Structure 1
Amino acid sequence: MQISLFQLVLAIALAGVSFAHSSNGQALLDRRVTVTSENQPISTVLDQIEREASVHFLYSPQLVQASRRVTYRSTNQKLAVVLAQLLKPLQLDYEVKDQQIILKRQVARSTSMLMPETDEPAVATVNPVDQTITGKVTTNTGETLPGANVVIKGTTRGTSTDANGNFTLSVPDGNVVLVVSSVGFLPKEVAVNGQTTINVSLESDVQALSEVVVVGYGTQRRQELTTAVTSVSSKAIERQPVAGFDQALQGQAAGVQVTSPTGAPGAGINVRIRGNNSISLTNSPLYVIDGVPVLPTYDRELSIGNQRPNPLNTLNPNDIESIDVLKDGAAAAIYGLRASNGVVVITTKRGKTGKAQVSFSAYYGVQQLRKKIPMLNSQQFAQYYNDAQTAAGNAPAFTDINALTTNTDWQDAVYRSAAIRNYQISLSGGTERTKYYVSGAYFKQDGIALNSGFDRYNFKLNLDQQMGNRFRVGTSLNLSKTSNNGSVRSELGPGNSGTVLGALAQIPTIPIRNASGTYSINPFQQFDNPVGNLLETRNRANIYQAIGNVYGELDILKNLTFRSSLGLDFRSQIENEFITRDYPGTQNANPANRGSARTGTNQQVIWLWENTLTYNPELGDKHNLTLLAGQSVQESDRFTSGASVSGFPSNAVPYLSAGTLFSAPFSYQDQWGLMSYFTRAIYNYDERYLATLSLRADGSSRFAPGNRFGYFPALSLGWRMARESFFPKDAALSDLKLRASVGANGNQEIGAYDRFSTYSSGRNYFNGTSVVGGIAPDRIGNNALSWETTVQYNAGVDLGFFKDRLTLTLDAYLKQTTGLLTNVPLPLNAGAQSPQITQNVGDVQNKGIELGINSTNIQSEGNGFNWSTNFNFTLNRNKVVNIGTLRNDQGEEVDRVIIGDYTVTQKGAPLGAFYGYVMQGIFQSTGEIAEAATQPGQPKPGDIRFADLNGDGVIDANDRTIIGNPNPKFIAAITNNLTYKGFELSVFFQGSFGNDIYNQNRTVIEGMSDPLNQTTAVLNRWTPTNTNTNIPRAVRYDPNQNNRFSTRFIEDGTYVRLKNLTLAYNLPSAFLQRIKVGSVRAYVTAQNLLTFTKYSGYDPEVSADPFSSVGFGRDFGVYPQAKTYTAGINVTF
């Protein structure tokens, strides 16, 4: 209740006859309230407390400067604590009278306190020579601090900072002292001393400020967390010029490994939290976007040139407020059956009470190929190929090497400098009852390869409406349209349309086009022209997506809240491809068959309905309890179809109807459902002893009715020793908390109908008189299938030093995944076309250590030099504990081994282990060959000698062994942020250490057996006059199989990368005040600026099979990473 100054004085006088904090008043002050305020006027915060605590405030808006803005958070705290934390920085006190709380100034030191803050002339005497002070208030980490109070010491004359931390204040003379304060920060006094610009940095008040973390169906203060949760701020995301937020996660959180396996615009990102858990199912985490769970799936049936689009790219990174990564089993258990790989909770920006704020941001940049691979020129290629021909007993292909005049650099022809740009505008604000956030954005990224790119349109709307005192409604909606040009084929081998590999392997002795204008091709071997491949392929995939929900909240009782939400994840993908008649790979084909087109659609609708009850009972002074109970129903319906045709008479009509040779179309539909119940209790005693207990039950339609429900419990405990009376108060160690947890999660990501047997038509048979059509089993089902279960144990410690200027978080974990869903062989007489069955067989283990350090290294007053550092380190060890058994030819039961094209899955080995031959050097003479184990192909001097590991005297498949590990020994990242007088510098390094890469490209471009271009490394190949080398001879057709998968092609994938370098300048607040602009920040950024590695390929951050559970770390024709330079500006009004 707002009252006049006279009424306030009268109320205080009447209240003076009774003791202000009587027993009734004490009961009132013991009431518990939850308050959340983001840059809101103090009057709005007081109104919120009135509703929560059923009290009434009496105050004068002029006296307390009710328009001042504050940022404050408190969860289930006593009213007395809230008032102390909220009012003390504002230099306010209070008295209690019955159910009324009367606000007043702490000490009245000057008659100027009676001067109202209005537009009318002040009553008090004002020095006519006032001077204007401008400045900015920031945190000790350099972030702007809105709503901070700047008051002349000894008076109530002051102001508050705007949304960007800027303030303007008139002072009577140049010798006054300013008191700068903000809720959650320690106040600071600054002498003016004639200065006209004063910038102030406030240090966090550890006792008053506690970061709020989203933990799934609720929030917790970080000080009360008992699980492993890492938060990533919006600023860390926004500074990187990337298409998706998942790319910006790289290096931001301990325990989270993020790799960009390909540099193709819009392509998928590989995110792993604490290692790989599954052999055949997804290892990607569950994403929860504003309460809507999204599990990214990269569907192969609509792959775009084998560049599957990233479904997470539909979200605009600039709309994100925070990202919280739930890493351990206890934190993720509330999401049950889908959380075995961890959970990433994304909260988007919402409106705040106050004036409307318009923000505009834009950047433009240039991308370039990070490095070129050195290849042979025309003369060098001709000499190499002549040597290969001669070694095979053939005539040389080039009679006069020096006469060659064409020297095409195919890398220069395929790659280009490409633009990247982003534009966004947003409007946010609100009243006490209505808050809104609206944004629109456009992002476009041209690929560094010809005819490739990605663009996106976004619209974002978040609304929150207070309906009366007890009911709230709102919505979160994200609409997007993305378009991916996937003309580049980056994962296909030679002899077809592998354009990335083609840019390396195509020979330099031919031009891009012939004199007739047609594309030239390799005269020795059919190998497509990479430029023609790109320009004559038109492949476009448009994805329309809507993710959001609507909700209603009702305060049934004072501490009991019911929430119901209805969510939607709608996705429609439409893909069209047309390959023209001029495509190089079909130039020699029958003209009637040239030209092809295909189209495909994939539409999925996922509905989600969730209901929760949250209860915060009042249990006394030191007991704090939050109870949650909820129910969730989710349903999915997906329909996919496609068709293709070839034989186009011309390129004029690139549609199916113009083709003449039709292939059989396809279509299918799948549906699944999930019904869930969950509960959680969060308890702490005096913020010292902490406990969280949760349980989720999930029933999935993917499993048989008798095996449908899974139960996922979790328990976590914490002891905040810093709250104990024996903990030293003034020691270097300022905070200490111990944590321990255990939790179970599941993985259900099999196909919707994988438990069923399937049948195929077209299996004709003879009935004795004629051939008739029939069907036969294709795959044998299994109603005993169940989910994979992951149980994770975690122990952690949180430390703070020097009043938390240095904080350290250390976690150790053990994660056991059991019941792996794998294909087990069946006897041939089982009757199925596919002689295998899916069963729950096998276990995988991950264990590791995570370390996160945040430090404020240098902190200066005002506009001085500030320096902070963030560092994280992750060590993870992965191994297969069990993969089942089988009987060998002797009838003995032995451990099962799954051998892939270049990997092995076996007991004791890490997932994805490379499996091949061991190279032992180069044969130098026929004598060495005679003494060595027999190798097929009649080896000659200059061929590779392979190790006979089983000692049987023959080199064959039984001599293969584990020759590499694609899993890094550890990953690390470090970010340094420096600020000085409006300038900002951010330097971000990240790296991967100890992982191996299978560089399969070298089997083609260093194979020295085909008429394809080679790298300059082959200039050191073995010849009779150059024997001191580890590179074999050149010989056509490779009779010794020198190019078989061996240690020859395994390389060290260790790298350290300057991932992001940003230099920014914030225009001075005094200048901005004159032009009526809130803030202007201009910046330049370099992404992937420097990479330090021994890897010989384009980039060590690579994988030709990025979403395979066991087949990662292979480089084969993968679209290279780009180096990016951008310049941008952020403006708020």
Structure 2
Amino acid sequence: MKKQRPTFYGQQQLLKQAMLFAGIVFLCRVLPAQTTDSTQQKQAGQTEKLPVAFGEQTRSALLQAQGRIQGSQLESVPVTQIEGALYGKLAGLYLVQASGKPGSDQPSISLRGFSPLVVIDGVPRTFTSIDPQQIESVTVLKDGLATAMYGQRGSDGVLLIKTKRGSIAPRKISFTAQSAIQQQLNRPEFLNSFDYASLFNEALMNDGKAPVYSADDLNKYKDHSSPYTHPDVDWYNSILNKQATMQRYNLNISGGGKLSRYFVDLDYLNQQGFFITDNKLNTYPTNNFYKRYVFRSNIDVDLTKSTLLSLNIFGRLRNGNEPGAGTDAIYDNILATPNNAYPVFNHNQSLGGNVQYSNNIYGQVLRSGYRPTYNRNLGVDVALRQNLDFIKGLYVRGFTSFNSYYDESINRSKTFAVYDFQLNPLTGDTTLQKIGTDASQSNSSSVNSQNRQIYNEFSLGYDTEKGKHAFQSALLFNSDNYVTGYDLPLNNYGFAARAQYNYDETYFAEVAGSYMAMNRYPQNKQWGFFPAVGLGWNMSKEKWFHVPVISNLKWRATYGKTGDNSGAGYYVYQQFYNSGSTYYFQNPSTGNSTLSEASLANPNITWEKARKFNAGADISFFNNKLELSVDYYDHLFYDLLQQRGTNASAIIGSTLPSENMGERRYKGFEAAINYNDHAGDFYWYVNANASVSKSKIIWMDEVIRPYAYQRRTGLPVGQPFGLTAIGFYQSQTDINNSPVVEGYNPVPGDIKFKDTNGDGIINVFDETAIGSTKPLFFYGLTAGFNWKGLDFSMLLNGVSNRNIWTNNSNTLEFQQNSNGGYGQAFAHHLDRWTPATAATATYPRLSLDDNPNNHRNSSFWLKDGSYLRLRNVELGYTLPTKWTGIVRITKARAFVNALNLLTFSKLERVDPEVLNWDYPNQRVINFGINIQF
């Protein structure tokens, strides 16, 4: 037998991690602690600098629409992906988590309706799986002025993540250890075998078929007298633990002096899944888990008084694992396997199963081998800034970054046989029919993805202040070369500039723009110009302004043009041909097919565009204790890539390309309010934000629809369409007196629909906009206090006017699997329509397979997805320094925090975010301690 190579989570790798961890601790212990330069600290604190595109601006001069939070505000949320800590914290930022699967539980991000570009330390990057202790701040750039310098990549907004750096301060060592308990939320209520079989018989009779379960069968399911022929298996509790663990450890060291500053961070995360394990049966891990090792080193060195060298090194290893059958497949099978399908084990401890259910779920968890995954990132950033002192405020800066990514899956799965227990009712003899094979374990690997990125930037800047005049400007060139697998490189490159002037911090003007290209457009259509302008007026600075309660009042407005080239595709302006059985070109001498036409090319393809207007105000009251920021925006997106709806591709024999022809408008209002105060030793704060987002389809090439109510144009983007449900058919008389359903003969208990066009027929021409058409409204509130070492914080977030579909596998009855077996039924199916329950039924009559009438998209299945969630709560206590100082500890804090404690929703059966139950959402209770030296 060939010797296998060591696995990536073997002892050697763990030893390397431990040695690196110990080495850095030792190094920081022997480094001399450098003194603080109080003069420089004072100067640094005079004016707060806020991150903007390719630089920083003072808060007082900021005209852009943006939101920002400190990294410390993320540390109280026990999540594995940074996005999960952003819920409810930034106006305009909307998040939805569709899965709780370890390693794949990042929420989708929408900033004013679009997925923003993620920029980490100035470089567009594709990952956010980093630990919050590394993060200095997270900023969202929302309007045209804020994103114009990103040109063809700026239309969707930008999420800026800035990592921590060292400062002129004594050496600081911080160690945090956390241990958490995870619990899955919103488990479906599966029916026991007796109820399942009873409803199955009922569904058969509703479909005009004979029942398959006899009275004797039902009695045996009920009294459990024959567990091998009439099993009743709670699959959920048979293979899933009620709780799972998660641990996280972080060590970071920072400090520095006049010549050099440093920040070094090490982080380890171990998130376990919920599958049961058996160490006696398997010598390898079969549970699903996600382990992450992160290292970051940010160093700044003053080579001379005017020359600054910055070096960032980032490394990340992510190890995953799951049973050989696959986590997704197992969760799908829980929904696809009723309690009466087969026993877990037969009388001889062989795995139960049959032809319709040939994958024993217990076997899939413990006897299907395992599938490890290995994922690594490496990033190196180098920047050199030279102040040109012959002109005060003039500088040049060069910056380069290299990033690589590699993802590999290893297949060590194996198949196993199941045995169908059969009992001869006449003789009492039992037999076991073998289904499938017990095969040896696979041993192969595949590269899922690998890419590399080289980013370069060169900038020239000039910042100066003369009396009441202040001027800030920057001119830069950047290039971003990105290679995925064997594809040709994707290149973004261009010039960008910004200039801002303010007079006495009262009147402000700013212009920004870029001239940018991308190589996946035709040669003569790669470059575009994206300008923006902003004006501001700080009214409170005027001599005539005397309102004692108002500390600051600044008005601002911006307008800009941006682009989005993410939909360019892979050289879609060129026509490609593929070999295959369907052909357009043939060798006439042999008759062999040679080439077939791929999707039609679009030689005129270009980037999508947006014109963005934003008007806002920043107001503070009572000596800045209360701060209010409001924004109104009107964004017009045009030249959106869409396929034509009025031309059928079947007529021309090829797939139509996407063309720049769509037009949409997004309008909204955002408000953020912050209040902080204290009474003696008691400090408290409240931060709240709310966003109203309204979208409208201005133009799209729709298919021809005969009625105005069917047209998408003029309605919100993504507006659901379907029939309008008006109850259930109660009798045959009711059916006879109702419109005819095209292609279907309804029976009592079926869903009854509105005849929208009044033609006496229910068909696709009666489908109309259903659900809410109101603007999406989402909000968040963070509050907390600190009193004599005791601190408390909480986070609420919610959303209203949200439509969600519920006609999926964890709602519908008896969904058939690929082998002809029928899936689960649920507790809410007990409330189905029958002649006896006609007055109180909340679910239509039951039937097998897909019912073309009841299961079609309609207002019956479209639900209000509004919710309010107590997203996070934390309680901590910092020990008095008179105690910790005895052992030379600067700070010691113990804390407990929790995620997803309470949810208020109109939905009864499902989580308002994880709708399909592919991997449920989770509640996390986390305990930790932080020690600083």
TM-score of Structure 1 vs Structure 2, range by shorter chain? 0.7 to 0.9
Q: How far does residue 336 in structure 1 lie from its aligned partner after superposition? A: 1.4
Q: How far does residue 531 in structure 1 lie from its aligned partner after superposition? A: 4.0
1:830 and 1:1040 mapped to 2: Cα distance?
26
Question: Among 911, 926, 932, which residue is 2:738 paired with?
Answer: 932
Aligned to 1:878: 695
2:237 and 2:907 mapped to 1: Cα distance?
21
Q: How far does residue 467 in structure 1 lie from its aligned partner after superposition? A: 1.0
The answer to whether structure 1 residue 693 and structure 2 residue 511 are counterparts is yes
- TM-score, reference length from structure 2: 0.86
Indicate how the Cα distance of structure 1 residues 397 and 595 shifts in structure 2: closer, same or farther if over 3 A, else same: farther
Matched residue type, 1:499: I
Aligned to 1:1013: 824
2:772 and 2:106 mapped to 1: Cα distance?
20
The answer to whether structure 1 residue 1126 and structure 2 residue 926 are counterparts is yes
Aligned to 2:866: 1054
Question: Among 457, 462, 467, which residue is 2:298 paired with?
Answer: 462
1:443 and 1:71 mapped to 2: Cα distance?
37
Contact 2:729–2:750 (8 Å) recurs in 1: yes
Seq. identity, % = 29
2:91 and 2:766 mapped to 1: Cα distance?
39
Contact 1:256–1:271 (8 Å) recurs in 2: no
Aligned to 2:911: 1099
Aligned to 1:749: 566
Question: Among 121, 128, 137, which residue is 1:290 paired with?
Answer: 121
2:377 and 2:329 mapped to 1: Cα distance?
30
Aligned to 1:606: 453
Aligned to 1:175: none
Contact 1:939–1:1039 (8 Å) recurs in 2: no
1:614 and 1:488 mapped to 2: Cα distance?
56
Aligned to 1:1090: 902
Matched residue type, 1:742: Y
Contact 1:905–1:912 (8 Å) recurs in 2: no
Matched residue type, 1:1041: N
Structure possessing the higher relative contact order (Cα contacts under 8 Å, 6 or more residues apart): 2
Alignment of structure 1 residues 229-240 onto 2, 5 Å: 229-240=66-77
Indicate how the Cα distance of structure 1 residues 1034 and 268 shifts in structure 2: closer, same or farther if over 3 A, else same: closer
Aligned to 2:537: 719
Aligned to 2:17: none
1:907 and 1:527 mapped to 2: Cα distance?
48
Contact 1:286–1:343 (8 Å) recurs in 2: yes
The answer to whether structure 1 residue 917 and structure 2 residue 723 are counterparts is yes
Q: How far does residue 804 in structure 1 lie from its aligned partner after superposition? A: 1.0
**Structure with max Cα Rg:** 1
Indicate how the Cα distance of structure 1 residues 598 and 614 shifts in structure 2: closer, same or farther if over 3 A, else same: same
Contact 1:583–1:595 (8 Å) recurs in 2: no
Aligned to 2:53: 216
SS of aligned partner of 1:500? helix
Give deviations 1:514-544, integer Å, cap 9, x for gaps. Answer: 3444543477x44854444444263333221
Question: Among 380, 389, 411, which residue is 1:548 paired with?
Answer: 380
Q: How far does residue 71 in structure 1 lie from its aligned partner after superposition? A: 4.7
Indicate how the Cα distance of structure 1 residues 245 and 760 shifts in structure 2: closer, same or farther if over 3 A, else same: same
Indicate how the Cα distance of structure 1 residues 929 and 323 shifts in structure 2: closer, same or farther if over 3 A, else same: same
Aligned to 2:430: none
Aligned to 1:973: 780
Question: Among 906, 909, 913, which residue is 2:712 paired with?
Answer: 906
The answer to whether structure 1 residue 430 and structure 2 residue 256 are counterparts is yes
1:225 and 1:545 mapped to 2: Cα distance?
35
Matched residue type, 2:234: D
1:917 and 1:584 mapped to 2: Cα distance?
44
Aligned to 2:462: 615
Q: How far does residue 1038 in structure 1 lie from its aligned partner after superposition? A: 5.8
Contact 2:865–2:912 (8 Å) recurs in 1: yes
2:300 and 2:48 mapped to 1: Cα distance?
22
Indicate how the Cα distance of structure 1 residues 516 and 760 shifts in structure 2: closer, same or farther if over 3 A, else same: farther
Contact 1:429–1:437 (8 Å) recurs in 2: yes
Give deviations 1:734-781, integer Å, cap 9, x for gaps. Answer: 111111111222110132322222211124667566431301211121
Q: How far does residue 224 in structure 1 lie from its aligned partner after superposition? A: 1.4
SS of aligned partner of 2:200? helix
Gaps of 5+ in 1: 1-38, 49-69, 74-183, 185-208, 277-282, 297-310, 492-496, 640-667, 898-903, 1103-1114
Contact 1:755–1:785 (8 Å) recurs in 2: yes
Q: How far does residue 1040 in structure 1 lie from its aligned partner after superposition? A: 5.8
The answer to whether structure 1 residue 361 and structure 2 residue 208 are counterparts is no
Q: How far does residue 418 in structure 1 lie from its aligned partner after superposition? A: 0.9
Aligned to 1:481: 317
Indicate how the Cα distance of structure 1 residues 924 and 454 shifts in structure 2: closer, same or farther if over 3 A, else same: same
1:700 and 1:1042 mapped to 2: Cα distance?
49
Contact 2:613–2:635 (8 Å) recurs in 1: yes
Give deviations 1:1005-1053, integer Å, cap 9, x for gaps. Answer: 4468984332212212222222112422223346663222222211211
Q: How far does residue 284 in structure 1 lie from its aligned partner after superposition? A: 1.9
Give deviations 1:99-135, integer Å, cap 9, x for gaps. Answer: xxxxxxxxxxxxxxxxxxxxxxxxxxxxxxxxxxxxx
Contact 2:724–2:859 (8 Å) recurs in 1: yes
Indicate how the Cα distance of structure 1 residues 565 and 501 shifts in structure 2: closer, same or farther if over 3 A, else same: same
Indicate how the Cα distance of structure 1 residues 881 and 589 shifts in structure 2: closer, same or farther if over 3 A, else same: farther
Q: How far does residue 848 in structure 1 lie from its aligned partner after superposition? A: 0.5
Aligned to 2:228: none
Indicate how the Cα distance of structure 1 residues 459 and 482 shifts in structure 2: closer, same or farther if over 3 A, else same: same
Matched residue type, 1:607: I
2:911 and 2:165 mapped to 1: Cα distance?
39
Matched residue type, 1:457: Y
Contact 2:336–2:824 (8 Å) recurs in 1: yes
Question: Among 194, 198, 215, which residue is 1:379 paired with?
Answer: 194
2:70 and 2:450 mapped to 1: Cα distance?
33
Give deviations 1:12-52, integer Å, cap 9, x for gaps. Answer: xxxxxxxxxxxxxxxxxxxxxxxxxxx9967x365x6xxxx
Matched residue type, 1:860: A
The answer to whether structure 1 residue 329 and structure 2 residue 141 are counterparts is no
Aligned to 2:684: 867
The answer to whether structure 1 residue 441 and structure 2 residue 267 are counterparts is yes
Aligned to 1:656: none
Question: Among 766, 781, 792, which residue is 1:959 paired with?
Answer: 766
Matched residue type, 1:859: H
Aligned to 2:885: 1073
Aligned to 1:261: 98
Question: Among 621, 626, 633, which residue is 1:801 paired with?
Answer: 621
SS of aligned partner of 2:487? strand
1:513 and 1:1037 mapped to 2: Cα distance?
28
Indicate how the Cα distance of structure 1 residues 976 and 255 shifts in structure 2: closer, same or farther if over 3 A, else same: same
The answer to whether structure 1 residue 568 and structure 2 residue 402 are counterparts is yes
2:615 and 2:511 mapped to 1: Cα distance?
16
Indicate how the Cα distance of structure 1 residues 293 and 534 shifts in structure 2: closer, same or farther if over 3 A, else same: same
Indicate how the Cα distance of structure 1 residues 549 and 588 shifts in structure 2: closer, same or farther if over 3 A, else same: farther
Give deviations 1:488-529, integer Å, cap 9, x for gaps. Answer: 9999xxxxx743343244212243333444543477x44854
The answer to whether structure 1 residue 637 and structure 2 residue 637 are counterparts is no
Q: How far does residue 908 in structure 1 lie from its aligned partner after superposition? A: 1.5
SS of aligned partner of 1:867? strand
Contact 1:410–1:504 (8 Å) recurs in 2: no
Contact 2:810–2:917 (8 Å) recurs in 1: no
1:1079 and 1:275 mapped to 2: Cα distance?
41
Indicate how the Cα distance of structure 1 residues 740 and 1090 shifts in structure 2: closer, same or farther if over 3 A, else same: same
Q: How far does residue 552 in structure 1 lie from its aligned partner after superposition? A: 0.7
405-414 or 236-245, which deviates more: 405-414
Matched residue type, 2:757: N
Number of aligned residues: 854
Contact 2:881–2:891 (8 Å) recurs in 1: yes
Aligned to 2:20: none
- TM-score, reference length from structure 1: 0.71
Gaps of 5+ in 2: 1-32, 225-230, 277-286, 421-432
